[in-house]
Amino acid sequence: MIVAMNADATQQQIDHICERIRQFGYTPHLIQGEERTVIAAIGKGDKKEHIESLKSADGVEDAFPILQPFKLVSTEVKKERSVIKIGDIKIGDGGLVVMAGPCSVETRDQLLTTAESVAKSGAQLLRGGAYKPRTSPYEFQGLAEEGLKLLAEAREKTGLKVVTEILNAEDVDLVEQYADILQVGARNMQNFELLKKLGKVNKPVMLKRGLSATIKEFLLSAEYIVSHGNPNVMLCERGIRTFETALRNTLDLAVVPLLNELTHLPVVIDPSHGTGKRSLVPPVARAAVAIGADAIMTEVHPCPEQAWSDGPQSLRLEDFAKMMADLQPYIKLRQQAAAAA
């Protein structure tokens, strides 16, 4: 259930409601808005007598059940958009953030060359895989900690923040030392032990939609992370598997406005995995920005023909620079709108 406190509710009244919620067998989650405090009572039931009891308490404006199965990530609980901060970077404030880099961290020269180029072109975050979940056991699986160290070096040299994928709950402590954003890949969207562990970290998490996941399943996976204590989650649409074979995946751009209706979490679009074709990445990126995505993530490589993974969908350095130049009018409009809001 949701308990909306009056704008002038005292801390003592808020604490009292939290205690009453615990007595009813729920777990209280405080959501501090600009104007008032909302308390989400998470648990089974939402019994009518509990709601009526809380409605009558001092400092309470209203109490009502949460209709969606995903609770804490729902706009029912929090109307204001969540803004995730990574240093000076803000994701979800109405502007646009660009993440770019190679699918896999291969060599020091490859990574630093890419990082310096995408930073010059206007990217704010460097993406790169130190751990690579591959369909075939014979394909390159990543450099592991060596790759993480190279990402950290690239961050030091360029100022770019780092987003990288994590595969196992056992690796969370290690990856957290190097990454600024921990990415959960599509294959791990329902790795619930990993999601629970990420709920305990003090770093933002980017959750990718599973290969065949529904929106409900996607948001319930995000709920795992938030309900275990980490509110800094962003959702990444990277395309889903359908009957279509012309593209690597079917990119669901309609998910952006839909998620903006259902959740307060920022939305990221990955046009590289969403299409699998280098030539389609820039136009799809423009569409993602126009439809309201909070961030885009693209794969970039100095020489895609020699890439150890995902070469066909990786932009060349000059391709990325041109795409960023073409995006500038869209980015400026978004920045103006964010400033006006």
Quote the domain boundaries for residue 27. 2-64
pLDDT of residue 138: 63
CB 101 within 8 A of CB 299: yes
- Is residue 98 located within the same domain as residue 228? yes
Separation between Cα atoms, residue 232 and residue 89, nearest integer Å: 13
Are residues 159 and 11 both part of a single domain? no
Q: Tell me the per-residue pLDDT of 150-163, one tens digit each, with 9 for 90 and over.
A: 999 999 999 999 99
What is the per-residue pLDDT for 341? Answer: 66
Distances (CA, A) of 87 to 140, 201, 232: 32, 17, 13
Sort 123 into a burial class: Cβ within 10 Å, 0-12 / 13-18 / 19+: buried
The partner residues of 328 in beta bridges, in order of sequence, read: none
Query: What pLDDT score was predicted for residue 141?
Result: 72
**Residues 58 and 89 grouped into a single domain:** no
Which residue ranges in the chain fall short of pLDDT 70? Answer: 45-46, 134, 138, 341
Please indicate, yes or no, whether residues 316 and 243 belong to a single structural domain of this protein.
yes
Residue 72 lies in a domain: no
Give the other-Cβ count within 10 Å of 263's Cβ: 28
- Give dist(CA 203, CA 182) in Å, integer: 7
Per this entry, what is the length of the chain?
A: 341
Q: Would you say residue 231 lies in a domain?
A: yes
| CATH number assigned to the domain comprising residue 316 | 3.20.20.70
Q: Name 240's Cβ contacts closer than 8 Å, sequence gap at least 6.
A: 209, 210, 211, 212, 213, 249, 250, 252
- 74 falls within a domain: no
Asked if residue 98 and residue 35 are part of one domain, the reply reads: no
| Counted domains in the chain | 2
pLDDT in tens, 189-209: 999 999 999 999 999 999 999
Two tokens, residue 45 = 């039931």
The answer on 186 and 57 residing in a single domain is: no
Alpha-carbon gap, residue 71 to 93, rounded angstroms: 22
Domain end marker among 64, 92, 110: 64
The answer to the question of residue 70 being in a domain is no
Residues 60 and 88 in one domain: no
Say how far apart CA 252 and CA 225 lie, in whole Å: 23
Residue 165 lies in a domain: yes
Beta-bridge mates of residue 28: 41
Q: Which two tokens stand for residue 320?
A: 């990325």
- The rounded distance, in Å, linking the Cα atoms of 251 and 100 is 18
Q: What's the CA gap between 287 and 302, in Å, rounded?
A: 25
- Read off the pTM: 0.90
**Half-sphere exposure at residue 174, Cβ-oriented, CA atoms within 13 angstroms:** 15
Task: Tell me, yes or no, whether 71 lies in a domain.
Answer: no
Question: What pLDDT does 133 receive?
Answer: 73
Please check whether residue 158 lies inside any domain of the structure. Answer: yes
168 & 42 share domain? no
Greatest CA span in the chain, whole angstroms?
Answer: 67
Whether 154 and 271 map to the same domain: the answer is: yes
Structural contact between residues 71 and 227, judged by C-beta atoms closer than 8 angstroms: yes
CA 276 to chain centre: 21
Could you give the CA distance from residue 317 to residue 111 in angstroms, rounded to a whole number? 12
Judge whether 119 lies within some domain.
yes
Q: What local confidence, expressed as pLDDT, does residue 330 receive?
A: 84
Q: Taking the CA of residue 117 as centre, how many other CA atoms within 13 Å lie in the half-sphere pointing to its CB? A: 23
- Domain of 6: which CATH number? 3.30.70.1140
> Do 10 and 155 belong together in one domain?
no
Q: How far apart, in whole angstroms, are the C-alpha atoms of residue 93 and residue 21?
A: 32
Give the tens place of pLDDT for each residue, 90-113: 999 998 999 999 999 999 999 999
Residue 331 confidence (pLDDT): 82
**Are 124 and 199 contained in the same domain?**
yes
Whether 245 contacts 275, CB under 8 Å: no
Q: Which residues contact 136 (CB under 8 A, 6 or more apart)?
A: none
Tell me: do 307 and 276 sit in the same domain.
Answer: yes
Which residue has 């729902």 as its token pair?
74
Can you give the pLDDT at residue 48? 84
